[in-house]
Amino acid sequence: MGLKEEFLSLLERDREFRYAVIGLLGLEDLRSSVKTLANAIAELTEIQRKSEERLGRLEEKVNGLSESIARLANAQMRAEERLGRLEEAHVRLEESMTRLAKVQSGTIGRLGKLEEAMIRLIDAQKRIEERLGRLEESHIKLIDRFKGLSREIGRLSETIGFSLEDIARVVVPGWLYRHEGIVVKDLVRKFFYIEGTEIEVNLYGEGIRNGKRIIILGEVKSRIYRSDVEKFYESAKRIAKAVREHIYPLMFAFYIHPSAEEEARVRGIRLIASYMR
């Protein structure tokens, strides 16, 4: 119960006191006092209400502050944990840096040795270059001598080739007559121009076998290998296509390799050695 209600209740219960008060103060003064007292009570009540509201807001702020402090404490705890891990990582990093410094020191020493080895290698390279220079000079002289020898061998090959052709011109006609029944008078060197290409034949002759005309195409070499047979076969095939006559391909040599014999058998080319009769 408020102060106002208590006061009014007191007045109602005690009429004598009420009359005494009225008599003493007077009705108007009493009314003024009561009004003043009521205003004061109302003001006090309003102040009390506002105080309670402020107190409520303060409690909310205190609660929020408590929660913030709790969160801050948790964050602080996590920060301390992270700081602990960071300190451990820092210790490991220092240990790694120490090991790296030791390795770097060893590497520097090895680099020094490597530089010394490089210097020795450079000196050796210089000596090699000097030797290569002298070798190049010798090589140039050797090439000059080889060129001269090649020219001599070329002239000798031509001499031997022409001599072998002369032998073939004497031996081949008799061999053809005895072994193939082909009569041919002369064998000469001949050039064919087929599709803009010049093809040279060492032995060319026009013969007769069984009353029919036949063309003799021959290649003369000192030595005959498989590749020589293949090359001559291609030339003879092109000539046969151009002249449109039956041909008799042969090759004459001092020496015939076994690989050439097999290839000639497949290609249908007769091989004649200089010692054959």
Res. 145: pLDDT tops 60? yes
Which pLDDT score, from 0 to 100, does residue 19 have? Answer: 59
3-class DSSP assignment, residue 225? coil
Of 45-54, 137-146, 238-247, the range with the lowest mean pLDDT is 137-146
Helix spans in 181-224 (H): none
Q: What is the distance of C-alpha 65 from the center of its chain?
A: 63
In this prediction, residues 62-66 reach a mean pLDDT of: 77
* Average pLDDT taken over every residue of the chain: 81
- Residue 250, beta-bridge partner list: 218, 270
Query: Contact at 8 Å (CB) between 251 and 221?
Result: yes
Which pLDDT score, from 0 to 100, does residue 161 have? Answer: 43
In this prediction, residues 170-192 reach a mean pLDDT of: 94
Which pLDDT score, from 0 to 100, does residue 13 have? Answer: 63
Which pLDDT score, from 0 to 100, does residue 241 have? Answer: 92
Q: Measure the CA–CA gap between 68 and 44, rounded to whole angstroms.
A: 35
Query: Contact at 8 Å (CB) between 30 and 21?
Result: yes
Best CA proximity match to 238, nearest among 186, 193, 207:
193
Residue 26 region by backbone torsions, left for phi larger than 0, else alpha for psi between -120 and 50, else beta: left
Q: Measure the CA–CA gap between 274 and 218, rounded to whole angstroms.
A: 13
Collect all residues with Cβ–Cβ distance below 8 Å to 35 and sequence separation of at least 6.
none
What the chain holds in terms of domains, given with CATH numbers, is: 181-273 (3.40.1350.10)
Query: Contact at 8 Å (CB) between 44 and 52?
Result: no
Which pLDDT score, from 0 to 100, does residue 266 have? Answer: 95
Res. 179: pLDDT tops 50? yes
Q: Measure the CA–CA gap between 54 and 240, rounded to whole angstroms.
A: 128
In this prediction, residues 68-91 reach a mean pLDDT of: 78
Residue 18's pLDDT band, with cuts at 50, 70 and 90, is low
Which pLDDT score, from 0 to 100, does residue 150 have? Answer: 47
